[in-house]
């Protein structure tokens, strides 16, 4: 009797299973028929074809198209994370902890390793719900389907998207292994608050790598993707913890972990540690700019600063913008590791020096930004790379602001004299003791103090910033030759209209940046050899493979003894000249002041064997600042920063000039921007086209401490220091 009852029970179960299967098949057919007979058969066929195409065209790279890049300071500390819309760190499957993989499969797709991309029973449940509700209300998605949706489709809940999701999942299972699919999934799934992938979530919520997390913390993270808004750890922590416990229990029931491990993990207290990286405005903007240009170069872009005509420049600018945008997009999504030369301690000191030096000026514009601004750049003379950069006064603002250190171009005043005129003349036989004429020039510049000393040494002319001497020497040298030195150091805003004597005192068409002034003076300190002052030491991929390594190739701009002789002269500026009293305690230093017309721009640029620093002070919209000279606010900022930067460093004297050079031996570049027939720019004696008119941009152009306006030989007015 018992045997018959048992046999009957087995038959009943079998028939029940058959009936269930028939019912499920009928439901599937009913659901599919509902849509096919509704005229959707063609659309479904098209979706299948599109799914096959999408997966066939995919590769491993398809699933890691966006990765967060990281920026490190000179000591290897993470100082910025560079990301597009997503914060993503890609990990290969063997670097994702086993517990994390097991937890995700347990809670999201138990049959992951046995199905072929689709859980048909779950699909049937979704079809029933769809028929009952008239729309898709249940996901029923396997891990493969979720991956298909996240990478290839939108998040819209439509039957069309669901069908295509199924087709894509099926094709993915044919092309990729289960481990690959799980790897793709765990690196792309959303964990709320901008974090995509389990590594980004670990960094975001616990401030450490997923490999450093406990089982409890891993399960906590795996609780989020099912419904990122509902299980947002920052706003619904208890919900996330409740789901964590459920995951741990299911892992135990699935015999993935033991009961003892389960109990230990469940008792563990989860504490979030969300470390928000401080925004470093000027460090970040210059880093992104420098790194983007490196990526442009690696892609074959050729940079130019000189052009034959406006048409060529316009075409270049268009090509540059396109290449820059493409490279910048790669930077924000490429998962790069960018190692910089920035020293955060020096950065803070330089920012404080600028802020403290201008603290008395509290006027702000309509945008709330201080109207009086300052910018400064410090270059490490050992490496030639930027150690600190300040593009303006510190203020609490959203987003990034103008980085005046490399984005603003202003008239340099007398600060340009050493690199434009005096060092080139030292190459041509002049010495510090050469006698020069400090006498009035008809229709020419006057001296700052209105005093003329007749015959004086070139050293004294530099120390006292004699405008008359600089003007006469440039007339002798010719503006074209002087400018060729700046061109060779990649000054970006040189213009053909700069071929005029007014540049002897900083009267440029477009101006120069604090970064350019710093790199020019760093070239003097480096025995006349120029190095590009970027801030990138190296760039690697997320996998650690080296992409770029700074080699700081040097280009000879000035002859060694001319550069050293100029340094020797500039030391006197800080002891006997316009920068007297700004020197650094016990540390040999050299530098030069610069002030423009009507005290609109103030400069101080100086260096030691250790560092070169340039400082600019002025209004974004040029206007007079009473009392502004190179030795005032800029000089004080320079002194205070450099004094602090050299604390504890051994005093190092500058190197002496080696020998007197052959005055006929000099060459800066093979060709110059200013290779123009003499009849177009005037003879070397300095004569100019009588119809020449200075461009509007030259208003407020370079002046010396006097700020006197003068005229050239054609009668045109220009301003001088």
DSSP assignments along 631-652, one per residue: TTHHHHHHHHHHHHHTTTPPP-
pLDDT at 483: 97
Please report how many Cα atoms fall inside a 13 Å half-sphere around the Cα of residue 143, on the Cβ side. Answer: 30
Pairing outcome for strands 536-540 and 717-719: unpaired
Q: Which of 251, 267, 283 is the last residue of a domain?
A: 267
In whole angstroms, give the CA distance from residue 363 to residue 690.
43
Helix pair 98-108, 143-152: axis angle to 10 deg? 100
Low-confidence ranges of the chain (pLDDT < 50): 136-138, 660-721
Instruction: Give the predicted TM-score (pTM) of the model.
Output: 0.77
In whole angstroms, give the CA distance from residue 223 to residue 201.
12
401 belongs to a structural domain = no
In 153-280, alpha helices (H): 159-175, 178-188, 198-206, 215-222, 237-253, 259-267
302 belongs to a structural domain = no
Q: Does residue 203 sit in helix, strand or coil? A: helix
Q: Which long-range contacts (CB under 8 A, 24 or more apart) does 60-63 make?
A: 60/180, 62/151, 63/147, 63/151, 63/183, 63/184, 63/187, 63/188
What is the domain range of residue 497? Answer: 408-532+553-617+658-719
Of 605, 532, 588, the closest CA to residue 341 belongs to: 532
Give the CATH number for residue 154.
1.10.3810.10
Token pair listed for 420: 């434009």
In whole angstroms, give the CA distance from residue 563 to residue 569.
10
Give the CATH number for residue 682.
3.40.710.10
343 belongs to a structural domain = no
Q: Does residue 717 sit in helix, strand or coil? A: strand
Pairing outcome for strands 337-340 and 536-540: antiparallel
Pairing outcome for strands 337-340 and 69-72: parallel
Of 499, 470, 473, 502, the closest CA to residue 486 belongs to: 499
Angle at 112 between CA 50 and CA 32, to 5 degrees: 45
CB under 8 Å to 503, separation ≥6 — which residues? 416, 420, 474, 479, 482, 483, 702
280 belongs to a structural domain = no
Alpha-carbon distances, residue 98 vs 204, 257, 271, 442, 689 (angstroms): 20, 11, 22, 85, 79
Q: Is residue 423 within 8 Å of 440, Cβ to Cβ?
A: no
**Maximum C-alpha span of the chain:** 135
Token pair listed for 227: 């419904």
Q: Is residue 518 within 8 Å of 533, Cβ to Cβ?
A: yes
pLDDT at 166: 86
388 belongs to a structural domain = no
pLDDT at 533: 93
607 belongs to a structural domain = yes
Q: Is residue 106 within 8 Å of 247, Cβ to Cβ?
A: yes
Pairing outcome for strands 454-457 and 435-438: antiparallel
pLDDT at 492: 93
Cβ neighbourhood burial of 239 (10 Å; 0-12, 13-18, 19+): middle
In whole angstroms, give the CA distance from residue 676 to residue 499.
10
Q: What is the DSSP letter of 410?
A: B
pLDDT tens-digit series, residues 105-132:
999 989 898 888 887 776 666 656 655 5
Q: Which residues are catalytic?
A: 108, 414
In whole angstroms, give the CA distance from residue 201 to residue 224.
10
| Tally of domains in the chain | 2
Q: Does residue 56 sit in helix, strand or coil? A: helix
Token pair listed for 600: 């609109």
- Distance in Å from the first CA to the final CA of the chain: 119
Strand ordering across the sheet containing 601-607: 386-390, 372-380, 611-619, 601-607, 590-595
Alpha-carbon distances, residue 466 vs 414, 434, 470 (angstroms): 9, 15, 7
pLDDT at 18: 66
Alpha-carbon distances, residue 673 vs 407, 487, 498 (angstroms): 22, 7, 11
CB under 8 Å to 112, separation ≥6 — which residues? 105, 142, 143, 144, 178, 182
Only one residue has tokens 């540690």, namely: 273
Q: Which of 248, 267, 286 is the last residue of a domain?
A: 267
Q: Which of 220, 241, 267 is the last residue of a domain?
A: 267
In whole angstroms, give the CA distance from residue 470 to residue 537.
38
In whole angstroms, give the CA distance from residue 647 to residue 608.
13
Q: Does residue 397 sit in helix, strand or coil? A: coil
342 belongs to a structural domain = no
293 belongs to a structural domain = no
In whole angstroms, give the CA distance from residue 222 to residue 225.
7
């Amino acid at each position: 009797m018992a045997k018959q009852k048992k046999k009957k029970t087995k038959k009943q179960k079998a028939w029940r299973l058959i009936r269930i299967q028939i019912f499920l098949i009928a439901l599937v057919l009913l659901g599919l028929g509902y849509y096919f007979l509704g005229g959707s058969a063609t659309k479904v066929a098209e979706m299948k074809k599109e799914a096959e195409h999408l997966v066939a065209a995919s590769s491993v790279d398809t699933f890691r198209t966006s990765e967060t890049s990281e920026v490190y300071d000179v000591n290897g500390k993470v100082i910025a994370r560079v990301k597009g819309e997503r914060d993503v760190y890609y990990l290969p499957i063997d670097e994702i902890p086993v517990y994390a993989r097991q937890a995700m499969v347990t809670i999201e797709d138990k049959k992951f390793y046995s199905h072929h991309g689709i859980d048909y029973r779950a699909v049937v449940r979704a079809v029933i719900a769809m028929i009952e509700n008239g729309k898709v209300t249940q996901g029923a998605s396997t891990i493969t389907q979720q991956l298909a949706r996240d990478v290839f489709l939108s998040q819209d809940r439509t039957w069309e998207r669901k069908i295509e999701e199924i087709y894509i999942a099926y094709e993915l299972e044919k092309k990729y292994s289960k481990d690959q699919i799980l790897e793709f999934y765990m690196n792309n799934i959303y964990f709320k608050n901008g974090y995509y992938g389990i590594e980004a979530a670990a960094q975001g919520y616990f401030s450490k790598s997923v490999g450093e997390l406990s089982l409890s913390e891993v399960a906590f993270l795996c609780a989020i993707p099912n419904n990122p808004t509902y299980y947002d750890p920052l706003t619904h922590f208890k919900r996330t913890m409740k789901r964590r416990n459920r995951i741990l229990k299911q892992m135990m029931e699935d015999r993935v972990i033991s009961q003892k491990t389960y109990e230990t993990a469940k008792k563990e207290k989860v504490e979030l540690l969300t470390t928000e990286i401080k925004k470093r405005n000027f460090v970040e903007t210059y880093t992104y700019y420098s790194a983007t240009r490196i990526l442009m170069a690696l892609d074959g872009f050729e940079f130019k600063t000189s052009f034959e005509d406006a048409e060529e420049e316009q075409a270049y600018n268009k090509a540059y913008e396109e290449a820059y945008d493409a490279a910048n997009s790669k930077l924000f999504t490429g998962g790069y590791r960018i190692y910089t030369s920035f020293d955060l301690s020096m950065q803070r000191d330089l920012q404080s020096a600028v802020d403290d030096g201008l603290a008395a000026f509290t006027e702000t514009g309509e945008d709330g930004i201080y109207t009086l601004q300052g910018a400064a750049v410090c270059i490490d003379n050992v490496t030639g790379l930027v150690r600190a950069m300040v593009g303006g006064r510190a203020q609490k603002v959203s987003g990034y602001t103008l980085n005046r250190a490399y984005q603003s171009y202003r008239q340099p005043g007398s600060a340009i004299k050493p690199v434009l005129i005096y060092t080139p003349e030292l190459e041509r036989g002049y010495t510090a003791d050469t006698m020069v004429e400090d006498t009035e020039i008809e229709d020419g510049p006057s001296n700052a103090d209105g005093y003329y000393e007749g015959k004086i040494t070139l050293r004294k002319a530099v120390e006292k910033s004699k405008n008359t001497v600089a003007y006469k020497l440039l007339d002798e040298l010719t503006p074209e030759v002087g400018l060729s030195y700046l061109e060779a150091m990649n000054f970006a805003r040189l213009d053909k209209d700069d071929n005029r004597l007014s540049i002897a005192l900083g009267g440029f068409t477009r101006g120069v940046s604090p970064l350019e002034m710093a790199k020019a003076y760093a070239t003097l300190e480096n025995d006349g050899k120029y190095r590009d002052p970027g801030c990138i030491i190296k760039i690697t991929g997320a996998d650690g493979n080296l992409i770029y390594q700074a080699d700081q190739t040097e280009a000879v701009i000035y002859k060694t003894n001319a550069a050293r002789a100029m340094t020797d002269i500039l030391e006197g500026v800080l002891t006997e000249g316009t920068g007297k009293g700004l020197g650094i305690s016990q540390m040999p230093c050299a530098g030069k002041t610069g002030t423009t017309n009507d005290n609109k721009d103030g400069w101080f640029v100086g260096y030691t064997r250790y560092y070169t620093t340039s400082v600019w002070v002025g209004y974004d919209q040029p206007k007079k600042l009473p009392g502004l000279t190179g030795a005032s606010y800029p000089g004080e900022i320079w002194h205070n920063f450099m004094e602090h930067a050299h604390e504890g460093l051994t005093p190092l004297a500058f190197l002496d000039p080696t020998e007197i050079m052959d005055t006929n031996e000099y060459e800066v570049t093979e060709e110059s921007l200013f290779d123009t027939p003499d009849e177009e720019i005037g003879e070397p004696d300095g004569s100019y086209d009588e119809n020449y008119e200075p461009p509007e941009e030259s208003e407020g152009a370079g002046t010396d401490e006097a700020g006197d306006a003068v005229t050239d030989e054609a009668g045109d007015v220009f301003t001088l220091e």
